[in-house]
Amino acid sequence: MIERTLFTPEHDMFRDTVRKFIEKEIAPYHDQWEKDGVVPRELWLKAGEAGLLCCTIAEEYGGSGADYLYDVIVFEELFRSGFSGPGFLIHADLVATYINSFGTEEQKRKFLPKMVSGEWVGSLGMTEPHAGSDLKAIRTRAVRDGNDYVINGQKVFISNGQLCDVLVLATKTDSDAGAKGITLFLVEGGMEGFKRGSNLEKLGMKAQDTSELFFEDVRVPATNMLGEEGQGFYLMMQKLAQERLAQAIRSATVTETVIEWTLEYTNQREAFGKTIGDFQNTQFKLAELQAEAVVGRVYTDKCIELFMQDKLDAVDAAIAKMQLSNLHCKAVDECLQLFGGWGYIWEYPICRAYADARIVKIAGGSIEVMKTIIARDMLKRLR
């Protein structure tokens, strides 16, 4: 196996802290959270107290000012555990990053300390019933009225939607301007007219709340605009590579994890007088997955390195997202098959991993969108 050289002994110590937090504060309760369809707010406060939220945020805004690898460690250990309920990635890697990168000083001081502490939960409001990957097609409107904007519209499939206290919301401020008519706002959970719909029942990730959100004449101060009017699409495009990298990190980690589970299981389970792991079919299946997982991990780690150098472009991120998402889904499918009937039983982690996996071909941009990005880049070389 190729050694991962990105991480220092200090990173390894932090990883141990994250693992202990998961064992103590998440593992004993996650089954109940799956039934509830939501993670309690107390967990967010405990995670904040333990220093697991928004690790890269500067000390002046309540964070530790750590490098991006600390956030990566939190995400990897959550993915490795198989507990998909806590929406820490969206909170830290997307919402806090948007505010930290594009917010005013006033916005940073207002929102970031509460996000670092876990007092406020962050969510990203982009997808609508008629606009998923095509963000230019959103219909949620924001109309200027004095010192406020009045927002009307609807969002769907919003992770952390039931809990969120701050929402980075994509709106149209000019319906005729296409991408140049999109503006982002920071909408606060208690604002009048901001209503949460049902907590959607999903195929997987059952403990993570996912909601419809409705906006009925929500008055948002102009000071809550993120960036400038009409800049929203440009700002979102700047962060898509980071979002897709996070999806690749998730898929690389889950792929490695389910291979480990399956290797252990097949070398214990017996059939026809020997272990399942003794059959050549089992060995070949796991060997193929292991080889693909190693290649995927090396590429993902290279993308992490490029991102930390501010060199990760949209095409490299799309390649990572596409390849690792496909591998993720392949791995959980083939590994579940080696578990036989027990793989179809919910109490087995491989069953949960299978159900949780399908979203990775959709979230952060569909596989088809990734192919389009890659193909366009290839065609550019011919011109």
**Looking at the structure, do residues 90 and 159 belong to the same domain, yes or no?**
no
**Looking at the structure, do residues 134 and 189 belong to the same domain, yes or no?**
yes
Task: Output the domain CATH number for residue 322.
Answer: 1.20.140.10
Query: Tell me, what amino acid is at 197?
Result: G
On the question of pLDDT at 233 being above 80, the answer is yes
On the question of pLDDT at 103 being above 90, the answer is yes
Residue 148 inside a domain? The answer is yes
How does pLDDT run across 132-186, given as a tens digit for each residue? 777 888 999 999 999 999 999 999 999 999 999 999 999 999 999 989 999 999 9
State both tokens at 63: 């964070």
**Looking at the structure, do residues 284 and 365 belong to the same domain, yes or no?**
yes
Residue 19 inside a domain? The answer is yes
Cα–Cα distance for residue pair 308/114, rounded to 1 Å: 25
Distance set, CA 227 to CA 109, 116, 135, 168 (Å):
16, 21, 17, 11
Residue 68 inside a domain? The answer is yes
Last residue of one domain, picked from the residues 70, 98, 121: 121
Task: Output the domain CATH number for residue 176.
Answer: 2.40.110.10
Residues 6+ apart with CB under 8 A from 2: 294, 297, 298
Residue 1 inside a domain? The answer is no
Residue 243 inside a domain? The answer is yes
**Looking at the structure, do residues 239 and 334 belong to the same domain, yes or no?**
yes
**Looking at the structure, do residues 251 and 344 belong to the same domain, yes or no?**
yes
Residue 3 inside a domain? The answer is no
Residue 2 inside a domain? The answer is no
**Looking at the structure, do residues 286 and 341 belong to the same domain, yes or no?**
yes
Q: Is residue 243 flagged as an active site residue?
A: yes
Last residue of one domain, picked from the residues 66, 90, 121: 121
How many structural domains does the chain have?
3
**Looking at the structure, do residues 264 and 186 belong to the same domain, yes or no?**
no
Last residue of one domain, picked from the residues 228, 245, 269: 228
Residue 246: pLDDT band (50, 70, 90) is very high
How many other C-beta atoms lie within 10 A of the C-beta of residue 362?
16
Residue 150 inside a domain? The answer is yes
Residue 20: pLDDT band (50, 70, 90) is very high
State both tokens at 105: 């000083």
**Looking at the structure, do residues 67 and 171 belong to the same domain, yes or no?**
no
Q: How far apart are the first and last CA of the chain?
A: 41
Looking at residue 271, its pLDDT comes to 87
- Per-residue DSSP letter, 228: S
Cα 171 vs. chain centroid, distance in angstroms?
21
Query: Tell me, what amino acid is at 110?
Result: K
Cβ–Cβ < 8 Å for 215, 153: yes
Domain that holds residue 252: 234-380
How does pLDDT run across 106-147, given as a tens digit for each residue? 999 999 999 999 999 999 999 999 887 778 889 999 999 999
**Looking at the structure, do residues 168 and 238 belong to the same domain, yes or no?**
no
**Looking at the structure, do residues 204 and 94 belong to the same domain, yes or no?**
no
Catalytically annotated residue among 128, 188, 212, 243: 243
The average pLDDT across 198-209 equals 96
Concatenating the DSSP letter of every residue in 22-81 gives: IIIIITTTHHHHHHHTS--HHHHHHHHHTT-S-TTS-GGGTS----HHHHHHHHHHHHHH
How does pLDDT run across 313-351, given as a tens digit for each residue? 999 999 999 999 999 999 999 999 999 999 999 999 999
**Looking at the structure, do residues 171 and 309 belong to the same domain, yes or no?**
no
**Looking at the structure, do residues 209 and 273 belong to the same domain, yes or no?**
no
